Amino acid sequence: MTYVSLAAARAAAARFDAEYGGGTYCYRFESNARGYQVAVYSLRSNVLLTYV
């Protein structure tokens, strides 16, 4: 997993939106001492889809 700054995590979420068009998923910005990672979850089933 890659941990990045919050600004980079938000940029990754924006790129995911641009590529997949938004819709039936949501983001969770997870953090620890190394930084942030962006988890993408399905809104319908609350299942983890991927990390970006």
DSSP string, 1-52: ---B-HHHHHHHHHHHHHHH-S-SEEEEEEEETTEEEEEEEETTT--EEEE-
pLDDT tens-digit profile of 1-52? 567 788 888 888 888 888 887 678 888 888 888 888 888 898 888 899 888 8
Is this structure's pTM higher than 0.85?
A: no
Measured in degrees and rounded to the nearest 5, phi and psi for residue 7 equal -60, -40
Whole-angstrom Cα distance, residue 49 to residue 35?
A: 20
